[in-house]
Structure 1
Amino acid sequence: MWSEGTFFVDAKLSPNRSLNLSGIGLASVLALLLTATSIILDGIGNRNPLQITSLSLPLLLSAAGAGILGQWVIPVLQALKTGQIIREDGPQAHLKKAGTPTMGGIFFIPVAVVVACILSDFNQDVLAVSALTLSYGLIGWIDDWQILRRKSNKGISPKMKLMLQIIFATLFCGWLILKGDFSITNIHLPWLGLSLPLGLLFWPLAGFVLVAESNATNLTDGIDGLAAGTVAIAIFALGVIIASTSPELMVFCAAVSGSCLGFLAHNRNPARVFMGDTGSLALGGALAAVALITNTLPALFVLSGIFFVETLSVMAQVGYYKATKGPDGKGKRLLKMAPLHHHLELTGWSELKVVGVFYIIAAILAVLVAL
């Protein structure tokens, strides 16, 4: 898919400085809230915030690492002319974003993986989740590279992308089978006090979740700071939920959340860089992989509420258009544009309002699940 932003303009020269400061404000508030929450929760969990197995240390290390590395990588991406190709049929206000470097996932995803692997002492589960994350990031990188090479907004074919996602999902599920922990095939529904013994049906579900979650995250990446911020909230909450049962994967979640915050320093409005499919596919894969290993799929479903609605908006738009297609081959549109964030933009919402509201919704969902 595609991600967007705007040209970076020095605040002293920007004719819309308030927008720049608001972008910084949203990112700063989110970073402060997640940092404060991690410290508080570490205290409640009798963890020293600076100890290796905590929420705070991996969050802060990854945030700092991604933020600092971005200062070096972004100029390199600019020199390599990796400017984003903007869809002509997208919101017209986004056309000015053409040329902003993309493929930002190449620096903040590895930071999270390295921090998580080192702090977890290269735990087996963390290595497996990291491998899946990097594999999906590789798919995204291939797609981003093809877009840049062809100078269009079309990368590899949807069938090829889907095939690669299924292949890596199958390999990950194969590893889960070899691991031998089949308790994960009983899906726990804590809110109902029930368990669903899926047995063999769990494996096609697992593959579907990996592919669907990565694509849903990908669809959400269309406005400066939207995907990075909402994923930072969702995967942080997932880490909180599994803290007592899977401390190493908690570290992974905190590292990914922190890396998203570090990336957000460069991706908040007005964005200096986009994550591209390289980042969005990897983030979705990370969320799904952790949920599968820790048997927290119901929690993932709630935490992914934003991504789920964004995906539904696209499906509804396409379905309605096809259902209302007339003799002239043209149908009606249910929304002004899909995904939902573009529809809201075209109804008069600013990018910052969309991002702010989506952050709040993501935070509410996170609190509901964590409680």
Structure 2
Amino acid sequence: MLYYLFEYLDKTLDISGTGVFQYITVRSALAFMLSLLLSTIYGKRIIQFLQRQQVGETVRELGLAGQNEKAGTPTMGGLIIIFATLVPVILFAKLHNIYIVLLTVTTLWMGTIGFIDDYIKIFKKDKKGLKGIFKVVGQVGLGLIVGSVLYFSPAVTVRQDTGKINIFRVTTENVIVQAPVEEKSTVTTIPFFKNNEFDYAELLAWTGDGYQKWAWLVFIPVVIFIITAVSNGANLTDGIDGLAAGTSAVSVLALGIFTFVSGNIIFSNYLNIMYIPNSGEMTVFIAAFVGALIGFLWYNSYPASVFMGDTGSLTIGGIIAVLAIAVRKEMLIPLLCGIFLVENLSVVLQVSYFKYTKKRFGEGRRIFLMSPLHHHYQKKGYHESKIVTRFWIVAIMLAILSIITLKLR
């Protein structure tokens, strides 16, 4: 909202200095600082409110060191992340921007699913929470919305051949250009390859002429799969203090770099990458989101004063997925979100191998001492703070490698 106020003050009343709000970098910095303050200052009040409501975590008997001490710790802390993200976005972002609308809907949608799940676990005393089928339906529903908007909305366009862009006048973030026409496209980026653009529509080329108009049959299911997979991956990673929030902050920060350069015609031209008009506005949302995650770590680091619960983990996964898809970097998710991937795979491998060996040998066997993977290391005797720190280091390495793909192809 402040963006529109300062735009009015600048263009109508011509008040000196108010034009600074036109710059994404300024608004992103303000969004980050405000979200950090909100999550640290008001986070404590939210935790106290959750304590008064007796929103305590029920700990399963897993035989892990320090696990029983966590019983009764408030959960639903994802409310802190959602609150500290959306308030700065409402204040500093262009609310009519299609990408900001999508990210806001994603935050509220996934936050609601996670909240219902946590509510059932805590107040209905059902440890299983929301039935898996309803979670999947919710994730698929969001995927349908995001996929349909990205495919059909005229506000979502790309310019692929940035090498033909001629810049006549340059300021910090506003330029006058002569460039190829913006177009609707289902093209995405394949990392580590030269001429690394791939169009999902090409998968239907075998159907004959006019296959491009049916590209949504491929694109929307891909969006649904990615949102479902990443949100579940974030959910599994939320197992020990600070793990999900810390690794997510690193991944989102890397996505912020991709978003800024892809939405900036100067940098996209220099790096020879796909230019996505209006996508740079997502940088404001990302700055607020990273600030909220870091602020949440103030209370979630070991020993945690609050857990994010599914309210937070599902929201985090959904936002990361939508960001990656919107900026056409979804094929980088296995690398950028490698921690999520490994955590997911550890569960799949553990369950599959256990069922296979039980069927073949009459006795189930395990690959890991316990899954997800972070619990395996806990079983081996590592302190959870050491596990979290090392996972953060790995996440930073993966993020740097992901950023290098801007030129490594």
Instruction: Specify if TM > 0.5.
Output: yes
Matches within 5 A, 1:141-152: 141-152=115-126
Cα drift, residue 71 of structure 1: 1.3
Structure 2 counterpart of 1:75: 48
Per-residue CA deviation, residues 30-58 of structure 1 (Å, 9 max, x unaligned), is xxxxxxxxxxxxxxxxxx99965345332
CA distance in 2, matches of 1:206, 1:56: 30
Is 1:370 the counterpart of 2:403? The answer is: yes
> In 2, are the aligned partners of 1:214 and 1:280 still within 8 Å (CA)?
yes
Secondary structure of the residue that 1:192 maps to in structure 2? coil
Cα drift, residue 111 of structure 1: 1.7
Q: Single out whichever of 355-364 and 193-202 deviates more from structure 2.
A: 193-202
Q: Single out whichever of 216-225 and 121-130 deviates more from structure 2.
A: 121-130
Per-residue CA deviation, residues 66-104 of structure 1 (Å, 9 max, x unaligned), is 111111110110010000011223625312211000001
Structure 2 counterpart of 1:238: 255
Structure 1 counterpart of 2:294: 261
Which amino acid counterpart does residue 112 of structure 1 have in structure 2?
A: T
Structure 2 counterpart of 1:323: 356
Identical pairs, percent: 39
Structure 2 counterpart of 1:191: 192
CA distance in 2, matches of 1:329, 1:151: 34
> In 2, are the aligned partners of 1:135 and 1:168 still within 8 Å (CA)?
yes
Aligned length: 324
Cα drift, residue 242 of structure 1: 1.4
Structure 2 counterpart of 1:309: 342
Which amino acid counterpart does residue 298 of structure 1 have in structure 2?
A: M
Which amino acid counterpart does residue 334 of structure 2 have in structure 1?
A: F
TM normalised by structure 1 equals 0.83
Structure 1 counterpart of 2:284: 251
Structure 2 counterpart of 1:100: 73
Unmatched 5+ stretches in structure 1: 1-47
Cα drift, residue 328 of structure 1: 8.7
Larger Rg: 2
Which amino acid counterpart does residue 241 of structure 1 have in structure 2?
A: F
CA distance in 2, matches of 1:353, 1:49: 42
Cα drift, residue 162 of structure 1: 1.0
Secondary structure of the residue that 2:318 maps to in structure 1? helix
Cα drift, residue 235 of structure 1: 0.3
Is 1:84 the counterpart of 2:57? The answer is: yes
Greater relative contact order (CA < 8 Å, ≥ 6 in sequence): 1
Which amino acid counterpart does residue 282 of structure 1 have in structure 2?
A: T
Cα drift, residue 208 of structure 1: 0.3
Is 1:64 the counterpart of 2:37? The answer is: yes
Cα drift, residue 151 of structure 1: 2.4
Per-residue CA deviation, residues 144-168 of structure 1 (Å, 9 max, x unaligned), is 0000023242101111111111112
Is 1:293 the counterpart of 2:326? The answer is: yes
> In 2, are the aligned partners of 1:313 and 1:339 still within 8 Å (CA)?
yes
Is 1:222 the counterpart of 2:255? The answer is: no
Cα drift, residue 300 of structure 1: 2.9
CA distance in 2, matches of 1:184, 1:112: 30
RMSD over equivalenced CA pairs, Å: 2.0
Structure 2 counterpart of 1:339: 372
Structure 2 counterpart of 1:29: none
Structure 1 counterpart of 2:210: none
Q: 2:219 aligns with which of 190, 202, 222?
A: 202
TM normalised by structure 2 equals 0.75
Structure 1 counterpart of 2:168: none
Structure 1 counterpart of 2:111: 137
Per-residue CA deviation, residues 199-231 of structure 1 (Å, 9 max, x unaligned), is 232221111001111000010000000001111
CA distance in 2, matches of 1:370, 1:49: 28
> In 2, are the aligned partners of 1:214 and 1:284 still within 8 Å (CA)?
yes
